[in-house]
Chains A and B, each alone.
Chain A
Amino acid sequence: MSAPTIDHTLDEILKLAASHFKVPREKLTPDDDFFKTLGIDSLQALDLLTRIEHHFRIELPDYELQGVSDFRTLANRIQARL
């Protein structure tokens, strides 16, 4: 089975973030700083990471998220693990 495209991965992340943090999906864009747009801190970012790992059935070490704050870069990190 082929891996999903980066656009699909990005869309899945945006849907997941919108649903979990109760933000309208249309308000989120790929280049948003998710800390600011979602109003979250690092503990909540780890919560998001846990949900992403479960959703995509991957393991994404949190050190790979160091300095990552936009959905597009996050999607690229995830894509590399699919």
Chain B
Amino acid sequence: MNAFSGQTLSWQIVNGVTELALHRDPCNEIGSLTLDELEKFAAALPELENNSHALIVHSTLKAGFSAGADLRELFQRGQAMEKSAARRGVREFLERIHCVMNTLDALPLTTIAAVHGVTFGGGFELALVCDIIVADRTARFCFPELRLGLIPGFGGIPRLKRDLGNAVVRDLLLTGRSFNVMKAQQIGLVSQIAAEGEALRVARATASQAAKFEKRTVATAKEFVKPIPYEELKREIDIFCDLYSRPAVEQGLRKFVENEGVQPYLP
């Protein structure tokens, strides 16, 4: 399937580049519907790989790339079922999204995340599976999960540890603060900074450059420089599920979901 237009995301091939656009209001929260459509995308990748030389992931929404996991859905599903069933549901969700993320991470094409605005939690984790992150000047990166009594669950920590120094990983994780794009480039997370609203254009130019290289060479180089930390990724799911079982998490999620104030995204 070379093109698809769904409720949360769409994809098409533009000038030999697969472009995956996220467009679920208000800020591409990743819940079960997004996961269903991401799985459709993952299933289409073998065909897309044959017909394109790069992948760009971007958001069409003004608010940003993605605010991460759909916490409202996580909370409401947990409330609607017995606790052990809720835990099984969370594990199943995580295993499914890890499968998608691992597929994207291992894709034998050059992959580029073009991000702007809010790039938080699961959205940050989606950007981290890409080979290159291009960010505009409005981008902010954050792992706020500890505020809820959780750790990132979509592969964030193992991939951050792969790509950055551990001191930076600890700073992001243990303070829950957000980094702007200058800081993100300084620590080696962001490859290129674009002017406001120009991340996709810059990503397309980068993808054009990637087209000059033979596919087999790109795939081999990627396999060499970007190992996938499968064991740590599995461990992350276990740790997340252990933490999720505690009452503190339910309280944290409830506080977030029921917060009608203007500051739920501030730590």
12 A-B pairs with CB atoms under 8 Å apart are: A35-B262, A42-B262, A45-B262, A47-B117, A47-B138, A53-B180, A59-B180, A59-B183, A62-B142, A62-B267, A63-B175, A63-B266
A77 CA / B15 CA spacing, docked (Å): 47
CB neighbours of A40 from chain B (8 A): 262
Query: A65: CB under 8 A from chain B?
Result: yes
Q: Is there contact, CB below 8 Å, between A66 and B118?
A: no
A41 CA / B139 CA spacing, docked (Å): 17
How many B residues have CB within 8 A of the partner chain?
25
Q: Is there contact, CB below 8 Å, between B180 and A65?
A: no
Closest approach, in angstroms, between the C-beta of A31 and any C-beta of chain B? 17
**What are the 4 A-B residue pairs with the smallest beta carbon separation, nearest first?**
A42-B265, A61-B177, A63-B267, A42-B263
Q: Is there contact, CB below 8 Å, between B180 and A63?
A: no
Q: Is there contact, CB below 8 Å, between B138 and A62?
A: no
Q: Is there contact, CB below 8 Å, between B266 and A62?
A: yes
Q: B residues touching A (Cβ–Cβ < 8 Å)?
A: 27, 63-64, 67, 117-118, 137-140, 142, 175-178, 180-183, 262-267
Q: A residues touching B (Cβ–Cβ < 8 Å)?
A: 35, 40-43, 45-47, 49-50, 53-54, 59, 61-63, 65-66
CB neighbours of A63 from chain B (8 A): 175-177, 266-267
Closest approach, in angstroms, between the C-beta of A42 and any C-beta of chain B? 4
Q: Is there contact, CB below 8 Å, between B266 and A42?
A: yes
A61 CA / B178 CA spacing, docked (Å): 7
For A52, the closest partner residue in chain B by CB is: B180
A65 CA / B266 CA spacing, docked (Å): 8
